Amino acid sequence: MRFALFGPPGAGKGTQTALLQQMFDLQSIATGNMIRSAIHEDTPFGRQLNAYIQDGGLVPDEIVQELAESHLSQGGFNQFILDGFPRTVVQAKWLHSLLESKKAPLQVVISMVVPDEVILERLSQRRIHKHTLESYHLTLHPPPADLDPELIVHRCDDRAEAIQIRLDTYARMTQPVSDYYRDMGLLIEISGVGTSLEIRDRIIEVLENQAVMNTA
Ligand code: AMP
């Protein structure tokens, strides 16, 4: 199975990736998590990445592509789910050539459609675990009461000032990626509103309908 989850920040890509990865034993290629892990290591490279993301902008294509390729090659370019990658048309074209060269093209791109007001509410309520990167929602999926509150953080790019910039960046840089995949006949839209299990089931239905399940 080789597919991508596509959608704006707060669409629920990370939550669904975690659910599907476990169910189908997939490798997840989540460039945002890779970037946050590098930032956490506090190396010069991590500090450079932090400067890009903290205000809501994108990390340059070449850096993200290198991160994605090294993770994809670890998993042998098969059985993967893409979360938050590609985020520009340049990245999408680069990925297309890479996967063609490995004879492992993407099978479907599932676009999770969520209204802006739901996104704004979700992002302002989102908190993540500093180490596991697990995502919580303060009211709908609160962190366990026995967890050290110091471990639960508000992502710097989930603060109000950065959210608007991320949504603008999405509209300008990332939205065109959906047209690229639509033109290739790979894009399927689903509603990203509902419980995480309802949304998971919609995704599974698409994977079944597109005959993506159980393919090597
Ligand atoms: P995410 O966790 O997917 O929302 O990503 C967090 C941040 O990492 C984004 O706001 C971007 O600054 C950066 N990022 C993640 N994936 C990419 C990508 N594919 N291209 C460029 N920047 C990215």
* Two structure tokens written together for 64: 């993200």
The pLDDT assigned to 214 comes to 60
Q: Within a domain: residue 71?
A: yes
In a domain, 214, yes or no: no
Q: Whose CA is nearest to atom 3 of ligand 1?
A: 32
Tell me if 215 is assigned to some domain: no
State the DSSP code for 83: E
> Is there a domain that residue 146 lies in?
yes
CA 208 to the chain's CA centroid: 21
Structural domains of the chain, count: 1
Is 31 a pocket residue for ligand 1 (Cβ < 6 Å)?
Answer: yes
Mutate to test the pocket of ligand 1, among 29, 35, 158 (most ligand atoms within 8 A of CB): 35
| CATH at 53 | 3.40.50.300
8 Å CB contact between 26 and 80: yes
**What pLDDT band is residue 55 in, cutting at 50, 70 and 90?**
confident
Ligand 1 atom with the smallest distance to the CA of 9 is 4
Note the pLDDT of residue 212.
83
Which residues lie closer than 8 Å to 33 by C-beta, 6 or more apart?
14, 83, 133
Catalytic site residue 172?
no
pLDDT at position 134 is 86
Q: What is the pLDDT of residue 162?
A: 86
Is 166 within a domain?
A: yes
Percent of the chain with pLDDT over 70: 99
pLDDT for the residue 200: 97
How would you classify residue 133: left for phi > 0, otherwise alpha for psi between -120 and 50, otherwise beta?
left
Note whether 59 and 53 are within 8 A (CB).
yes
pTM check: above 0.75:
yes
User: What are 156-174's pLDDT values in tens digits?
Assistant: 888 888 888 999 999 999 9
Tell me how far apart the alpha carbons of residues 205 and 198 are, in angstroms, rounded to a whole number: 11
Q: Over the stretch 64-107, which tens digit does the pLDDT of each residue have?
A: 999 999 999 998 898 999 999 999 999 999 999 999 999 999 99
pLDDT given at position 215: 56
Structural domain includes residue 176: yes
Domain membership flag for residue 216: no
Q: What is the reported pLDDT for 140?
A: 86
Point out the ligand 1 atom lying closest to the alpha carbon of residue 30: 3
Ligand 1 pocket, mutate which of 33, 37, 53 (most atoms under 8 A from CB): 53
**Known active-site residue 47:** no
Q: Is the pLDDT of residue 3 over 60?
A: yes
Q: For residue 160, what pLDDT is reported?
A: 84
Tokens, residue 199: 């949304």
Q: Determine the average pLDDT of the residues in 177-195.
A: 97
- Strands of the sheet containing 80-83, edge to edge, are 27-30, 80-83, 2-6, 108-113, 187-191
Indicate if the pLDDT at residue 33 is higher than 70: yes
The pLDDT value recorded for residue 78 is 87
Residue 213 is assigned to a structural domain of this protein: no
Instruction: Confirm or reject: Cβ of 7 under 6 Å from ligand 1.
Output: no
Domain around 192? 2-208
Mark whether 13 is an active-site residue. yes
